[in-house]
Chain A
């Protein structure tokens, strides 16, 4: 008689995630959503300042080809106390780079529970859901939830206006001095 072969349990589907800190709060992001992780110092050379009064969480942007990638302060986005950010996540398939305090660890999750419907405000666009890891609950962020299409439109418009104003200033600086009047002209000649 042959011994029973061990029953194979189907492998649980898992997703690799990065746990990161913002003002002492732990969040998770799918590692597939993170295109680059950079130090804040390495970004400072490429980032240019901007200011849009209605969106204080965005103070810098980076040019990437035709597009501008906006640097969002995660602490301000979530309404957490400010903390000096050390790292930037450039989020894939978005125009967002996220300022965070640091990476906690990389791990995997096997189950993502939808955000309970009792949460019924802005947070529904912030999170893909919640996951339980080591008897704690961690919110899993939605990469495209940091800037709405309307906010991106406003930021683009603001940059475009700034660029136009700069172009006008540049043109004025480069323009040759025009003759003041007839008398001046005759003196020069």
Chain B
């Protein structure tokens, strides 16, 4: 049985990965940017491709297509920069997408117990049923983040 989450409409950004469309809650989106150079360095988190530089910030690029459509993206048109929560902290992550994004207002249906963890809900839009993505489940991160007093985002170098 599914429940209607709210009767009020909410804003979502629709993104395209190959032939499929997905949605992210609009309040989690920072911006949509053209692809820029990815900087790569050795690491062991396979879901992260590298980082891009955006407005002085270093933003990890997470290709979520493999998980969502079963294959990586051969071409990418934009990076959708979203805010990903890590416990009490929020950091930007860049999601490569293959087409234009669209802002819509819709009513979200809550997920059922059988839905994958990355499904935050469902939308019905223009004849399609669209998954709303739970970025916390979809993108990599530590299982538990201990609360820290110092912000990690912009630590200054200590000579």
Question: Which A residues form the contact surface with B (CB < 8 A)?
Answer: 13-16, 25, 27, 32, 78-80, 109-114, 116-123, 126, 129-132, 135-139
Contacts and interface: CB of A to CB of B under 8 A. Distances in A.
Of the listed residues A113, A126, A131, the one surrounded by the most CB atoms of chain B closer than 10 A to its CB is A113
B139 to A, nearest CB: 6
Given A13-B159, A113-B155, A121 B43 contact: yes
A123 B145 CA distance: 16
B51 A13 contact: no
Nearest to A110: B157
A128 B62 CA distance: 21
Contacts of A120: 45, 140-142
Interface in B39-95: 39, 41-45, 47-48, 51, 53, 56-60, 62, 84, 86, 89, 91, 93
B149 interface: no
Contact of B44 (A27, A118, A121, A139): A121
B41 A25 contact: yes
B3 interface: no
Given A111-B156, A135-B53, A137-B53, A116 B58 contact: yes
Contact of B86 (A80, A117, A126, A139): A117
A80 B42 contact: yes
8 contacts: A16-B159, A111-B154, A111-B156, A112-B156, A119-B60, A120-B142, A121-B44, A132-B58
B148 to A, nearest CB: 10
B93 to A, nearest CB: 6
Nearest to A78: B42
Contact of B58 (A27, A80, A113): A113
A117 B91 contact: yes
Contacts of A138: 41
Interface string B135-159: 0000111100100000011111111
Contacts of A116: 48, 51, 58-60, 91, 93
Contact of A136 (B39, B48, B84, B139): B39
A16 B85 CA distance: 33
A178 B83 CA distance: 79
Contact of B153 (A113, A126, A132): A113
A120 to B, nearest CB: 5
Contacts of A78: 42
A137 B159 CA distance: 19
Given A123-B45, A132-B58, A136-B39, A118 B157 contact: no
Given A116-B93, A129-B155, 13 more contacts: A14-B157, A109-B157, A113-B58, A116-B60, A117-B141, A117-B145, A118-B139, A118-B140, A121-B44, A130-B58, A132-B53, A132-B58, A137-B39
Given A117-B91, A117-B142, A123-B44, A112 B155 contact: yes
A129 B151 CA distance: 13
A15 B158 contact: yes
